[in-house]
Amino acid sequence: MATPIFNASCSFSSSKVIDCKSYAGLRSPASKVRIASLPIAAIHRRSLVVRASESNGQAKKLGRSDAECEAAVVAGKAPEAPPVPPKPAAPAGTPISQPLNLNRRPRRNRASPFARAAFQETNISPANFVYPLFIHEGEEDTPIGAMPGCYRLGWRHGLVEEVAKARAVGVNSIVLFPKVPEALKNPTGDEAYNDNGLVPRTIRLLKDKYPDLVIYTDVALDPYSSDGHDGIVREDGVIMNDETVHQLCKQAVSQARAGADVVSPSDMMDGRVGAIRAALDAEGFQNVSIMSYTAKYASSFYGPFREALDSNPRFGDKKTLCGYNKFWYLLHKSYQMNPANYREALIEAREDEAEGADILLVKPGLPYLDIIRLLRDKSSLPIAAYQVSGEYSMIKAGGVLKMIDEEKVMMESLMCLRRAGADIILTYFALQAATCLCGEKR
Ligand code: PBG
């Protein structure tokens, strides 16, 4: 089959810095077969090549000397060439036609596995992945129904083991999403900046176990908000921008204090990147990066994630709802972008860049490849793509139902995100895909 296979040989020591150098590309499973079926003469010729190292610098005598061979050719006695291979037969009924007069036949550059590998434009490696992990206060790992293969991991055990597995296949970057106990949620999401809360505690534990692990955090109030929104919801349904940014700054600083390497505001409030940068710098965290969710769309592809964290937006009781507008605004998390919009992503990107973002993120991934390409072309900053829960679950479901080949579709979708211009990809497939890239069996 001509379907791409991604392969790489990696060997990692899980305790060391991980760097998947051999990254991999498309390798046709046909390549081995082709080598085996090279014309006999070609194989024979190869086997006569003698390396200097094997012969201790001395010519190995196989027959006539070089001088004798040259003399024979000069005398017109060239050695016999291997026979011309017969022309492959076309099936009966193939029309007889004149060759088209084409200057360019692009198929030449993709005709063999060797050409395909040589001219491959995009590669993918475990170093490109950021692994999103769900954590909770419990001791057990609880499966997430809508995301087969994903768990709410116990922060002390399950999480630490999952991180070890990821590092063993070259994935050394993670992003944490907490499930916060209901009793700790309130309308202003204050638990978000509790230095002893689940996320800061977990960061400290991970940094203690794996000092070189790269930890990304999510900056938004939704896991901590009793309204399930990324910001503070006013009585009339408006998400209060500047007051929310105040909270986000405290959240980001608390995460940085715990040891986070990259804080990632996913809330889509205006001006939060600049405010967070200033807050981090004021506290001495000049080296903590900001990955901004630059273009985060109000997408239905987030459904399974909201189930995972139990963070579906709530709207208060009917009395506080003042009509259709508020309901619509909150229901669709309309502080996030309209999926119909393209140019607006550029406005967001320019702002984030000017405010000091280090990485620009597009979310979701596959349905928004045009936005990834847009930002790639218009900005010099690294671009991240988030292959979100709905994208993951669809591929998993298609695989379980045997409608698609899960592994191949997974690898193709990730490669396509890279091709569109993503440097890094946040994906729930990180461990599975890296395992596949490293050529290990799951
Ligand atoms: C919210 C947040 C969301 C995701 C990441 N951070 C969901 C939302 O906006 O409700 C979604 C990720 C996914 O679907 O995989 N701060």
Name the residue among 1, 3, 6 with its Cα closest to residue 440. Answer: 6
d(CA 195, CA 172): 24
Radius of gyration over every alpha carbon of the chain, rounded to an integer in angstroms: 28
pLDDT bin (cut points 50, 70, 90) of residue 334 is confident
Give catalytic status of residue 363 as yes or no. yes
Q: Which of 128-132, 238-242, 282-286 has the lowest mean pLDDT?
A: 238-242
Residue 333 alpha carbon to ligand 1 centre in Å:
11
- What ligand 1 atom has the least distance to the C-alpha of 222? 16
**Residue 294 — very low, low, confident or very high, per pLDDT cuts 50/70/90?**
very high
Cβ of 388 less than 6 Å from ligand 1: yes
Q: Kindly state the average pLDDT of the residues 83-97.
A: 95
432 CB within 6 A, ligand 1: no
Q: Is 335 in the pocket of ligand 1 (CB under 6 A)?
A: no
Does residue 218 have its Cβ closer than 6 Å to ligand 1?
yes
Please check whether residue 416 is in contact with residue 385, taking contact to mean a CB–CB distance below 8 angstroms: no
pTM above 0.85, yes or no: no
Give the chain's mean pLDDT.
86
What is the mean predicted confidence (pLDDT) over 260-283?
96
DSSP string, 113-162: HHHHHHT----B-GGGEEEEEEEESSSSPEE-TTSTT-EEEETTTHHHHH
Phi/psi of residue 118, each to 5°?
-65, -35
Averaged pLDDT for residues 123-129: 97
